[in-house]
Structure 1
Amino acid sequence: MNEQLKAGVYGAAIGDALGVPYEFMTRDTFTCTDMVGHGTHDQEPGTWSDDTSMMIACADSIRANQGAIDVKDIRQRFNLWRNDACYTPDGVVFDCGITVSNALRRGRGMDGERDNGNGSLMRILPLAFADAADSQIGKVSAITHAHEQSKLACIMYVHIARDLARGMSAAEAVDANAVFGEPFDRIPRIAELGRADIKSSGYVLHTLEASLWCLLNTSTYEDCVLEAVNLGSDTDTTACVAGGLAGILYGLDGIPSAWIDTLRRKDLIDSCLW
């Protein structure tokens, strides 16, 4: 198994699980310091959400197709998750974004300006470890999120992940890939912004900026994902997206062993990797 892929996926899944109890909570009304359960969705500690379910469904397709990117197959696996609760810890779908739900029901990605949620960014990480061209990354995003902004966010994220896997520092990887203009013009200086300037809603650009800000302003996996959760609002997705990059940067050994132990259904996650 590709250990960097596993570190990235585990990093994302643990970030997701850390954030699940606090989803939708306002910044500074809570403090996450460890992996707990219940809260917003009343789930057991270590339970991950739609973010990880869709990510491992994507990974499972790539694994089954021996590294090939088959958009139709990925869509079918997303429908297995949404309709039959496959790729879930308990056989229950307890969280699904509106854009994702509409796109899967209609069989086409949503491409309006208001359809730029983070539902493709949260699941795109496995493509960093496949031979996926930018056009293919865009098509996988477009299964649900077909607006150019969502596709570009996914492309940037995948390239940053790849550069981290090649051994670049976080600052080098972000700098090398901050190549788009508006509305991505804050990315080159994202590390310099204050916490109050960072938003953590479900908007794709907010999630990308917040995840990179957390990665660049911390020096451990633990600090990165806790900072992401404590930004509030879309806590699970911000921590999932940040955690995927932090997992690659710091490796499995850099993730607290207690959190790995608490993470549920590692067998299911592992079965989807290659």
Structure 2
Amino acid sequence: MLRHVDTLRSAVYGTAVGDALGLPVQFLPRDSYPEVTEMTGSKELPCPAGTWSDDTSLTLATVDSLLTCEGVDIPDMRARFEDWLENGTYTPDGQAFDQGFTTVHALTQGHGCTNEQSNGNGSLMRILPLAFVKNLSDEQIAQVSGITHAHPLSVEACQVYVHAGQLLLDGFSLSEAIETACLASETFAGLADIGQYSRSEIRSTGYVKDSLEAAVWCLLTTNNFRDALVKAVNLGEDTDTIGAITGGLAGIAYGMDSIPESWMNALRKKDIIEHCLTSR
């Protein structure tokens, strides 16, 4: 069973908005493009403004599985990921695109990747809905990450991120949630202080540790949804995923009403998102 289902909507829309806001400037170097403050189309991808990518699609697949199965069901979730990859389910235009190499390789081979080189952010970007599962265990987080990303570093990043989401749902502030979530983690112990870093010290690559640190930095150095997301998508490099990771926690922390109306209006195919959130 899931808890705080109303807040699940703001987490999912926060993820989708961050994804769509950052997608048009994905992989561009920092400060090589005009500051992104509104939804725009992409010159590199044939995508209208407000298009979301694999970050949101796999988050929706996760939500659909959790609500349908009333909890974590790994075979069901894996099947939904495969459906996305093969048939374009959970996508705005009926075709998967921008797929991560590790995710594709893992779904093709039938098990998660465990090598050091597989520590991209492909499980972190979709894992936040687990924060809404009652009596969730760390082993379940590991299993869900491990559908594609089974290396201990990726698993630990997902656990810290989900714990932060759980603590926000329990009423902790963003800073308290992040500090508490990383208490038991040697790898991510520095997250609690990352708000003191300068922008130049933040790496915004697709490496899972960099991505989580960048998202947390954006959250700890702002005090509202819009500013956190603008900061995230203007870091350059893996802008859509860092936007999605930032947006998910910001959605929980600040709620649906905090998402700028112009961003919500521009977000495409909200009917698909609503279907995953409501139809049972």
TM-score range for the pair, normalised by the shorter chain length: over 0.9
Cross-structure match for 2:264: 260
How many residue pairs get aligned? The number is 273
Within the candidate set 217, 223, 228, 2:227 is matched to 223
Cross-structure match for 2:88: 85
The answer to whether the Cα contact below 8 Å between 2:123 and 2:158 also exists between their aligned partners in 1 is yes
The answer to whether the Cα contact below 8 Å between 1:41 and 1:94 also exists between their aligned partners in 2 is no
Q: How do 1:128-167 and structure 2 match up within 5 A?
A: 128-131=131-134, 132-167=136-171
Gaps of 5+ in 1: none
Pairing 1:233–2:237 present: yes
CA-CA distance at 1:59 after TM superposition: 0.5
Cross-structure match for 1:270: 274
Pairing 1:60–2:64 present: yes
Cross-structure match for 2:75: 72
Amino acid of the residue matched to residue 22 of structure 1?
V
Cross-structure match for 2:127: 124
Secondary structure of 1:118's aligned partner: coil
Map Cα deviations across residues 199-231 of structure 1 (whole Å, 9 max, x no partner).
010000001000000001011101101100000
Amino acid of the residue matched to residue 101 of structure 1?
V
Cross-structure match for 2:191: 187
The answer to whether the Cα contact below 8 Å between 2:10 and 2:251 also exists between their aligned partners in 1 is yes
User: How far apart, CA to CA, are the structure 2 residues paired with 1:99 and 1:38?
Assistant: 24
Q: What TM-score, normalized by structure 1, do the two folds share?
A: 0.97
CA-CA distance at 1:38 after TM superposition: 2.0
Map Cα deviations across residues 136-172 of structure 1 (whole Å, 9 max, x no partner).
0110000000001101111110110111122211111
Within the candidate set 97, 105, 112, 2:100 is matched to 97
Change (3 A) 1:181 1:164: closer
Amino acid of the residue matched to residue 24 of structure 2?
P
Q: What TM-score, normalized by structure 2, do the two folds share?
A: 0.95
Deviating beyond 6 angstroms after TM superposition, the runs of 4 or more aligned structure 1 residues are none
Percent of matched pairs sharing the same residue = 47
**RMSD of aligned Cα (Å):** 1.2
Gaps of 5+ in 2: none
Pairing 1:21–2:24 present: yes
CA-CA distance at 1:80 after TM superposition: 0.3
User: How far apart, CA to CA, are the structure 1 residues paired with 2:122 and 2:79?
Assistant: 16
The answer to whether the Cα contact below 8 Å between 2:26 and 2:239 also exists between their aligned partners in 1 is yes
